[in-house]
């Protein structure tokens, strides 16, 4: 590679096998990116360099694909914050090293905006378990439009921002566990419309997360009417991924059919060994809805474990009134006894993460202020507290006390899936890929934070044959881009589109991050470019400050 002129983004990648994100077969070509960061030409290989390109990269024997799109990202806050001057934001770094040049934020009904002054501190706590935390002074926004501008000024990637249902509900109703009145729904519709008109790329809900968990089907449908009127997508973490997953799937299919909005099913799965057999029925229900005209897409992550805020261990009634009320309840012995009974016996009134993770042994601490606990199973945490019986009240009290001491801001990893079902959902024509990765900077995150896309291309393409390489590339590029309205703007290699590119070795690419060592970078990625700027070289971040601030934004409006 010739040295790059930092004042120019012009680039010649020669002789690569191009998989361009469309239905075209792979082909050998030279790709030229111009000074403005957009693709100038895709043509037959040549030994003669185009005139005045700043850098030349040998792509012979490698695959060149469009930059990957992370359809389910939780880097909402960390995309704003850098550890070092001139380095990419800490939430973008793990995405860039695995080839992601675009991300979709605001997942699971929890978005960083809109928020009002009087609720800022509580709102920050509300986001902590899923999206981490940043200093108060870094919150320079209140409206959705202000947040969007802040993200787009700082992120090293293209970004699409969803408006969260729980965020809107808190804005209008607080954290109370009650059915929304007609006036509440009207106010939520107005707040949602305002955020969408300020640049929201769609609407998301997480019906396991308070306060969205208190919503009726009719409430969600009323908000989706606002979304459908703007021809935007509805992203959903369904009300149950375990014992009632079929009923939860039918609920969102009904909402999409009723309102006409496009349904995007987040991290589609059946959780818990008692529910793995339900995958076939789920696919049948979705297929029937598609045949009836419902527009559907979904994302999958390529692991048998998930990760989320540890607050999901508490049934919604415990969280009525907000974090402080929930923490107060956890100090009541009678409530703790009731909680233990519900966790051990109730699998239908809410998504019981303790039960479908096979108890404390199937849960690991991902984010916690106590470094000695990070990365350990909850069973190990209980044992370290001197409790031998994992089913005892003392064992449950140990975890309840830890949750309270952490202000409910812990994150966990949950082992609840089986690889055969991961492959089954991934193989569906309407699915794409999302990391669903909690950044947990300084903690012990899920390995999908660094390994998701290389794992798809290594494990599920090369080793298992779940997908062909061109089909996998389509899933993570043009198909994903289409979900949030980026069709024709991102996800393909053709003249006029941004020079967002990934160069990799298909025989080598693989994830190296594990549940024991989650910070390992993947292998086999030779280069990643955003708008012509090289952000990754031979698997390592370049750390060029021009790269961070230089990429033009892709607009949805």
> Is the residue at 426 inside a domain?
yes
Q: Which range among 158-167, 440-449, 455-464, 547-556 shows the weakest confidence by mean pLDDT?
A: 547-556
pLDDT at position 439: 87
pLDDT at position 555: 47
User: Same domain, yes or no, for 386 and 431?
Assistant: no
Question: What is the end-to-end Cα distance of the chain in Å, rounded?
Answer: 38
pLDDT at position 557: 35
Taking only the tens place, the pLDDT of each residue in 303-324 is 999 999 999 999 999 999 988 9
Band (pLDDT 50/70/90 cuts) for residue 48 is confident
pLDDT at position 83: 81
pLDDT at position 53: 86
Average confidence (pLDDT) over 167-175 = 96
User: Same domain, yes or no, for 261 and 190?
Assistant: yes
Band (pLDDT 50/70/90 cuts) for residue 552 is very low
Residue 121 vs residue 48, higher pLDDT:
121
Average confidence (pLDDT) over 94-104 = 97
- Write the CATH number for 41: 2.30.40.10
> Is the residue at 555 inside a domain?
no
Mean pLDDT over the full length of the chain: 93
pTM of the model: 0.95
Tokens read off for 506: 């298909």
- Write the CATH number for 91: 3.20.20.140
pLDDT for 547 beyond 70: no
Question: What's the rounded Cα separation, in Å, for the pair 115 and 93?
Answer: 27
Question: Residue 365: which domain range?
Answer: 309-415
Question: What's the rounded Cα separation, in Å, for the pair 54 and 546?
Answer: 15
Q: Which of 415, 430, 465 is where one domain is finished?
A: 415
Band (pLDDT 50/70/90 cuts) for residue 549 is very low
| Cα separation values, 534 from 320, 494, 541, Å | 48, 18, 9
Task: Please enumerate in sequence order all residues whose Cβ is within 8 A of that of 462, keeping only pairs 6 or more positions apart, or say none.
Answer: 506, 507, 509
User: Same domain, yes or no, for 115 and 237?
Assistant: yes
pLDDT at position 269: 98
Q: Which residues of 346-376 are buried (b: 16+ CB within 10 A; e: fewer)?
A: ebeebbbbbbbbebbebbbbbbbeeeebbbb
Average confidence (pLDDT) over 453-468 = 98
Band (pLDDT 50/70/90 cuts) for residue 440 is confident
Band (pLDDT 50/70/90 cuts) for residue 8 is low
User: Same domain, yes or no, for 25 and 83?
Assistant: no
Taking only the tens place, the pLDDT of each residue in 53-91 is 889 999 999 999 999 999 999 999 999 998 887 788 999
pLDDT for 550 beyond 50: no
| Cα separation values, 57 from 9, 11, 31, 528, 543, Å | 13, 8, 10, 12, 19
> Is the residue at 331 inside a domain?
yes
Report the domain count for the chain.
3
Band (pLDDT 50/70/90 cuts) for residue 226 is very high
Q: Percent of the chain scored above 90 by pLDDT? A: 89
> Is the residue at 512 inside a domain?
no
pLDDT for 551 beyond 70: no
Band (pLDDT 50/70/90 cuts) for residue 94 is very high
Q: Which of 372, 400, 415 is where one domain is finished?
A: 415
User: Same domain, yes or no, for 226 and 152?
Assistant: yes
pLDDT for 339 beyond 70: yes
User: Same domain, yes or no, for 275 and 316?
Assistant: no
User: Same domain, yes or no, for 113 and 203?
Assistant: yes
Average confidence (pLDDT) over 399-421 = 95
Average confidence (pLDDT) over 122-142 = 91
Question: What's the rounded Cα separation, in Å, for the pair 320 and 206?
Answer: 16
> Is the residue at 2 inside a domain?
no
User: Same domain, yes or no, for 395 and 326?
Assistant: yes
Average confidence (pLDDT) over 192-207 = 98
Average confidence (pLDDT) over 158-169 = 98
User: Same domain, yes or no, for 292 and 147?
Assistant: yes
> Is the residue at 3 inside a domain?
no
Least Cα distance to 21 among 79, 99, 88 occurs for: 99
Q: Which of 415, 444, 474 is where one domain is finished?
A: 415
Question: What's the rounded Cα separation, in Å, for the pair 458 and 525?
Answer: 11
pLDDT at position 544: 55
At residue 38, the 3 state secondary structure works out as strand
Calculate the dihedral angle through the C-alpha atoms of 134, 91, 547, 488, rounding to the nearest 10 degrees.
Answer: -120
Taking only the tens place, the pLDDT of each residue in 18-40 is 999 999 999 999 999 999 999 99
Taking only the tens place, the pLDDT of each residue in 270-295 is 999 999 999 999 999 999 999 999 99
Q: Which range among 24-28, 238-242, 545-549 shows the weakest confidence by mean pLDDT?
A: 545-549
> Is the residue at 255 inside a domain?
yes
User: Same domain, yes or no, for 251 and 220?
Assistant: yes
Unique residue bearing structure tokens 């849960």: 363
Residue 257 and residue 290 in contact, taking contact as beta carbons nearer than 8 Å: no
pLDDT for 543 beyond 70: no
pLDDT at position 505: 98
User: Same domain, yes or no, for 387 and 453?
Assistant: no
> Is the residue at 511 inside a domain?
no
User: Same domain, yes or no, for 135 and 124?
Assistant: yes
């Amino acid at each position: 590679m010739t040295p790059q002129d930092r004042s120019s983004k012009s680039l010649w990648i020669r002789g690569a096998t191009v998989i361009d994100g469309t239905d075209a077969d792979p082909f050998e070509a030279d790709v030229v990116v111009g000074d403005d960061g957009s693709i100038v030409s895709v043509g037959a290989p040549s030994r003669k360099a185009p005139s005045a390109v700043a850098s030349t990269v040998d792509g012979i024997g490698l695959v060149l694909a469009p930059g990957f799109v992370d359809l389910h990202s939780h880097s909402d806050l960390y995309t704003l914050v850098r550890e070092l001057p001139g380095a990419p934001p800490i939430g973008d770094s793990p995405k860039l090293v695995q080839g992601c040049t675009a991300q979709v934020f605001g997942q699971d009904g929890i978005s960083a905006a809109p928020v009002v002054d009087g609720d800022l501190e509580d709102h920050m706590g509300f986001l902590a378990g899923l999206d981490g935390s940043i200093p108060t002074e870094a919150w320079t926004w209140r409206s959705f439009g202000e947040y969007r501008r802040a993200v787009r000024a700082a992120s090293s990637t293209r970004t699409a921002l969803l408006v969260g249902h729980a965020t809107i509900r808190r804005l209008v109703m607080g954290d109370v566990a009650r059915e929304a009145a007609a006036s509440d729904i009207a106010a939520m519709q107005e707040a949602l419309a305002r955020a969408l008109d300020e640049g929201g790329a769609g609407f998301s809900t997480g019906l396991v997360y308070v306060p969205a968990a208190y919503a009726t089907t009719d409430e969600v449908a009323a908000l989706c009417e606002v979304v459908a009127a703007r021809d935007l997508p509805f992203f959903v973490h369904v009300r149950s991924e375990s014992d009632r997953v079929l009923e939860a799937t039918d609920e969102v299919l009904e909402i999409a059919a009723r309102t006409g909005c496009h349904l995007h099913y987040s991290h589609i799965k059946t959780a818990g060994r008692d529910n793995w057999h339900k995958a076939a029925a789920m696919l049948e229900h979705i297929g029937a809805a598609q045949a009836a005209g419902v527009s559907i897409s979904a994302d999958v992550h390529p692991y048998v474990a998930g990760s989320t805020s540890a607050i999901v261990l508490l049934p919604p009634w415990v969280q009525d009134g907000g974090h402080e009320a929930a923490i107060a309840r956890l100090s009541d012995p009678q409530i703790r006894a009731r909680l233990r009974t519900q966790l051990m016996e109730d699998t239908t009134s809410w998504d019981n993460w303790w039960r479908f993770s096979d108890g404390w042994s199937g849960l690991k601490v991902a984010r916690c202020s106590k470094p000695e606990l990070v990365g350990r199973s909850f069973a190990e945490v209980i044992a370290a507290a001197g409790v031998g019986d994992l089913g005892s009240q003392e064992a449950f009290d140990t975890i309840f006390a830890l949750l309270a001491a952490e202000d409910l801001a812990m994150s966990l990893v949950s082992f609840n899936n089986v690889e055969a079902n991961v492959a089954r959902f991934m193989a569906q024509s309407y699915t794409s890929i999302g990391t669903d990765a909690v950044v947990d900077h300084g903690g012990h995150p899920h390995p999908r934070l660094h390994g998701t896309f290389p794992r798809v291309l290594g494990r599920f393409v090369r080793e298992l044959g779940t997908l062909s390489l061109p089909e996998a590339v389509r899933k993570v590029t043009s198909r994903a881009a289409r979900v949030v309205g980026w069709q024709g703007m991102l996800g393909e290699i053709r003249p006029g589109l941004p020079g967002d590119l990934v160069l990799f070795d298909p025989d080598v690419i693989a994830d190296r991050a594990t549940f024991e060592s989650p910070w390992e970078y993947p292998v086999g990625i030779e280069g990643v470019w955003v708008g012509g700027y090289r952000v990754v070289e031979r698997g390592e971040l370049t750390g060029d400050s021009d790269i961070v601030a230089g990429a033009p934004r892709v607009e949805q409006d």
